[in-house]
Structures are given as structure tokens and as C-alpha cells.
């Protein structure tokens, strides 16, 4: 009777663990999706800033050339080239940049997924671990009862 009650409690405990792990996994997936969206937004902002900077230096370059300021024009040209390279880098590495920005949340999601599947596939072990202390107590109580009964038979014999 006690073991049956503890077995029911163990199943409820397992279900709570599984539900909590499922909830944690869902939350981690949402956080990862949010991080990917944030990464894509930040990528677009970075690309926009690089294009604005390139345009600004291009305008400066043209103005310096018209004004005959060759040193300033060379510096503006270098900056234009830097931002052109930056734009090229961003465009070629878009996916990597976005996924790398969400790496922490991806790792948390993978951990939550591993935890969920570990619990999902460990039902019997979790239940057995939960019930084990009660089984030991019942076995100890049976041993004491058997010992008491044996002692009683030895002392009192057939009475």
C-alpha cells in the first residue's frame, strides 16, 4: 500500500519534471528565435551604418577633389575603401554574423533540449530512484518483523 502510493507520487514527480523541462525547452526556443531576430536587426543596422559612412566619405572625397585638397581626398578615399570592404564583409558573412550573435541562446536551447530528452528517456530510472528509499524502508521493516517473529518462535516455541 505504501509503495503503491509512492509509486503514484513518483509518476507525478516524473510528469512534473518532464513538464518543467518541456516548458524550459519552449522558453529557450523562443529566446533563440528572439536572438536570431535581434541579430538580423543588428546586422541590418550595421550594414545601413556602413553604407551611410561610405556615402559620407564619398561626398567628402568629391568635395576635397573639387577644392584641390589632395591629402584630405586620399584620407577620404581610404575611408571609402574601408567601408566598401566592410559592406562586402557584412554581405558575404550575413548568416554567420547573425547565427554567431545568437550563439549563447542556441547553446542554452541545446542544453534544454538535451535535458528534456534525458528526462523523457529516463522515466523508469527517475521513478525507481524516487521509490527506492521507501522500498528500503519497507524491506527493513519486513526484516525486523521476520526477526521479531523468529525470536518469538524461538522463545515461546509452540505456545
Name which of 105, 107, 118, 127 is nearest 22 in CA terms. Answer: 118
Query: CA 40 to CA 53: how far, in whole Å?
Result: 20
Cα angle, residue 14 at apex, residues 10 and 11 outer, rounded to 5°: 40
Query: CA 108 to CA 94: how far, in whole Å?
Result: 22
Backbone angles phi, psi at 123, to 5 degrees: -55, -50
H/E segment holding residue 142:
helix 123-156
Phi/psi zone of residue 69: left (φ > 0), alpha (ψ -120 to 50 degrees), beta? Answer: beta
pLDDT tens digits for range 18-75: 999 999 999 999 999 999 999 999 999 999 999 999 999 999 999 999 999 999 999 9
pLDDT tens digits for range 91-120: 999 999 999 999 999 999 999 999 999 999
Name the band, by pLDDT with cuts 50, 70 and 90, for residue 159. Answer: low
Q: How many CB atoms lie within 10 A of CB 94?
A: 15
Which letter, b or e, does each residue of 127-159 get, where b requires 16 or more Cβ atoms within 10 Å of its Cβ?
A: beebbeebeeeeeeeeeeeeeeeeeeeeeeeee
Name the band, by pLDDT with cuts 50, 70 and 90, for residue 158. Answer: low
pLDDT tens digits for range 110-149: 999 999 999 999 988 888 888 887 777 878 878 887 788 7
pTM value is 0.73
Per-residue pLDDT, averaged over 70-94, amounts to 97
Percent of the chain with pLDDT over 70: 98
Where do the domains of the chain lie, and which CATH numbers do they carry?
2-154 (1.10.287)
Amino acid at each position: 500500500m505504501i509503495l503503491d502510493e509512492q509509486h503514484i507520487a513518483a509518476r507525478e514527480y516524473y510528469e512534473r519534471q518532464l513538464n518543467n523541462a518541456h516548458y524550459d525547452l519552449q522558453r529557450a526556443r523562443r529566446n533563440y528565435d528572439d536572438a536570431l531576430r535581434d541579430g538580423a536587426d543588428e546586422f541590418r543596422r550595421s550594414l545601413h551604418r556602413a553604407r551611410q559612412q561610405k556615402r559620407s566619405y564619398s561626398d567628402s572625397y568629391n568635395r576635397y577633389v573639387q577644392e584641390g585638397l589632395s591629402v584630405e581626398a586620399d584620407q577620404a578615399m581610404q575611408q571609402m575603401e574601408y567601408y566598401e570592404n566592410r559592406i562586402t564583409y557584412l554581405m558575404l558573412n550575413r548568416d554567420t554574423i547573425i547565427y554567431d550573435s545568437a550563439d549563447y541562446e542556441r547553446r542554452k536551447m541545446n542544453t534544454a533540449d538535451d535535458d528534456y530528452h534525458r528526462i523523457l528517456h529516463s522515466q523508469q530510472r527517475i521513478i525507481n530512484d524516487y521509490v527506492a528509499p521507501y522500498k528500503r524502508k519497507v524491506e527493513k521493516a519486513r526484516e525486523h518483523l521476520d526477526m521479531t517473529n523468529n525470536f518469538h518462535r524461538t522463545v515461546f516455541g509452540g505456545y
